Structure 1
Amino acid sequence: MAKILTLTMNPALDLTLQLGQLELGQVNRSNAMLTHAAGKGLNVAQVLADLGHELTVAGFLGIDNQQAFEALFERRHFVDEFVRVPGETRSNIKMAESSGRITDLNGPGPQVSEEAQQALFARVEQIAPGFDVVVVAGSLPRGVTPEWLQKLLLMLKGLGLKVALDSSGLALRAGLAAGPWLIKPNTEELADALDAPIISIAAQAEAAARLHAQGIEHVVISQGSEGVHWFSPSVALHSLPPKVTVAS
């Protein structure tokens, strides 16, 4: 069993609505509604907990609607190291139609002050040496720059920690420059970060070799229903998920 710290800078309350067909500009009625505390890092934490690992979770959390997250932490026995910030954690709305089409509306997240950023940085620097792996996942909230994320990753790397990064856009670009132990972009995110098309498996392998040269040991590239390619310096693996029927 490993001790793992996950960092979710921009968690979300996910509201999922199930309906027959979305009619734009009309009053729509849902068949079911589900609300749950989420965010990439928290989703990763739940899977790792199911696999038997010991989890501590951290990031920024709005104080006005923190109850759903605190209930999750208590239910899953997560150690809570989140820094509270004024306002609400963002809400993301998913509208799932019977056809399988899903429409996402993602909120922007709270404004995070420099004081809160300094508090989280100091807290992570203090507790991180006790962990086997640190996972940094998801987007950045307002006020948090890619440069701040890069500084955090470099600090963790300087402590000798294995750091796994799953982000996109400017945050991914900044993260790559820090040379984390593992990254997990999808093909579009990686192509954007490297300013190069990544269409074929050969192109993925070439991109992975380029990243290995930068000190990134593991490059995991997700492709939706086409599975995942995992490139390490010594081996390349392809995992293909089985076809499934969506139940709800």
Structure 2
Amino acid sequence: MILTVTPNPSLDRTYGVPALSRGRVLRTDGERVDPGGKGVNVSRAVAAAGLRTTAVLPLGGTPGVLLAELLGAQGVDVTAVSIAGQTRSNIALAEPDGTLTKINSPGPELSREESALLLDTVGSCAADVTWIACCGSLPRGLAPEWYAELVRRAHAAGARIALDTSGPALPAALAAGPEVIKPNAAELAAAVGRPLPTLGDAVKAAEELRTRGAGAVLASLGRDGQLLVSAEGAFHGTAPTPAVRSDVGAGDASLAGFLIAGGAGPQALASALAHGAAAVHLPGSAMPTPADLRPDQVRITRNPPPDLPLTDTF
């Protein structure tokens, strides 16, 4: 059983456009409406794999009702925390070559009472789960230390935490000891305060975050694959993605794949890569099913060459 927590969920509307031209009327070739938010996507990917999952969400207004209905139709159980504000809506414009332009709303501001109720709700659900995936940015009204408090409560209930967030919330949560954190290359560089031009630099950055409290670091490196640094060592993996249709939610699908495979070791990394590679071939933020996966195309290397340059440096 995998529980997800998304403090700032959304409705994601994706429109296909022939080209993005400022100041012009754009006609779309179709529209998708998907439940959005990083933890929401993790739950969707877990459900697509045929496994049980519950999404804990602060929901408000008509968008919140629709989001819960869409998740239910995809096999995701929803535990809703009612809020006064309206759940946000995001827009993505997808071009034929895979270029994606995203317009994200900041979302509602949660009151102190709503923040506390969300923590209490997660705590009450944590006793029967093995993993809790805490994902995404914090909405207005939640302090950077909110995730750290959630990690402490989850540990007290016997659950393990996978954390995917950025900004001040990430370093604030490290001291609480999440079992896994999942930064991308830019977030990993920001967390250690220096650029990461090579794979060896990324490994050192991940090791630094482990000394600060993270049990393992699963880092998405864009076109350069993924990196796992844990007590077992450093592992680097790649999976071919020749035709990218949409990368929305691909990182979330990767985290789901990692947790589905146990959340530790190279086998879990391979599952993460297979899920992420499958997701980019799907429209919008659609999540892959087992039939979409190509695990035979995944390549894993232990103790990868440190001088390998990273394509995307930050």
For the residues of structure 2 that align with 1:120 and 1:243, how far apart are their CA atoms?
A: 38
The secondary structure found in structure 2 opposite 1:66 is helix
- 1:69 Cα shift? 1.7
**Are the counterparts in 1 of residues 133 and 162 from structure 2 also a CA contact under 8 Å?**
yes
Compared with structure 1, are the counterparts of its residues 100 and 73 closer, same or farther at alpha carbon in structure 2 (3 Å cutoff)?
closer
- 1:216 Cα shift? 1.8
**Are the counterparts in 1 of residues 152 and 176 from structure 2 also a CA contact under 8 Å?**
yes
TM normalised by structure 1 equals: 0.92
1:124 maps to which residue?
122
Q: For residues 79-98 of structure 1, what are the structure 2 equivalents within 5 Å?
A: 79-98=77-96
Query: Letter of the aligned partner of 1:86 in structure 2?
Result: A
1:154 maps to which residue?
152
Q: Which residue among 33, 39, 43 is the counterpart of 1:35?
A: 33
Q: For residues 193-208 of structure 1, what are the structure 2 equivalents within 5 Å?
A: 193-208=191-206
1:187 maps to which residue?
185
The secondary structure found in structure 2 opposite 1:125 is helix
**Are the counterparts in 1 of residues 164 and 183 from structure 2 also a CA contact under 8 Å?**
yes
Query: Letter of the aligned partner of 1:70 in structure 2?
Result: A
For the residues of structure 1 that align with 2:196 and 2:177, how far apart are their CA atoms?
A: 20
For the residues of structure 2 that align with 1:124 and 1:207, how far apart are their CA atoms?
A: 30
* Higher strand proportion (structure 1 or 2): 1
For the residues of structure 2 that align with 1:11 and 1:133, how far apart are their CA atoms?
A: 19
Q: Which residue among 100, 103, 115 is the counterpart of 2:101?
A: 103
Query: Letter of the aligned partner of 2:18 in structure 1?
Result: G
- 1:127 Cα shift? 1.8
Question: Which consecutive unaligned segments of at least 5 residues does structure 2 have?
Answer: 246-282, 284-314
Q: For 1:103-129, what per-residue CA distance to the aligned partner results, in whole angstroms no more than 9, with x for missing partners?
A: 111001111111111111111112211
Compared with structure 1, are the counterparts of its residues 82 and 194 closer, same or farther at alpha carbon in structure 2 (3 Å cutoff)?
farther
Matched, 1:226 2:207: no
How many corresponding residue pairs?
A: 246
- 1:7 Cα shift? 0.2
For the residues of structure 2 that align with 1:44 and 1:84, how far apart are their CA atoms?
A: 21
* Structure 1 stretches of 4+ moved >3 Å: none
Q: For 1:26-66, what per-residue CA distance to the aligned partner results, in whole angstroms no more than 9, with x for missing partners?
A: 22221211111111101111112223321111021123322
For the residues of structure 2 that align with 1:98 and 1:243, how far apart are their CA atoms?
A: 16
2:23 maps to which residue?
25
2:211 maps to which residue?
213
For the residues of structure 2 that align with 1:152 and 1:216, how far apart are their CA atoms?
A: 15
2:48 maps to which residue?
50
Question: Which consecutive unaligned segments of at least 5 residues does structure 1 have?
Answer: none
The secondary structure found in structure 1 opposite 2:168 is helix
For the residues of structure 1 that align with 2:158 and 2:91, how far apart are their CA atoms?
A: 38
Query: Letter of the aligned partner of 2:62 in structure 1?
Result: D
Q: For 1:125-159, what per-residue CA distance to the aligned partner results, in whole angstroms no more than 9, with x for missing partners?
A: 12211110110011111111212222222222333
The RMSD of aligned alpha carbons is: 1.7
- 1:208 Cα shift? 2.2
Q: Percent identity of the aligned residues?
A: 37
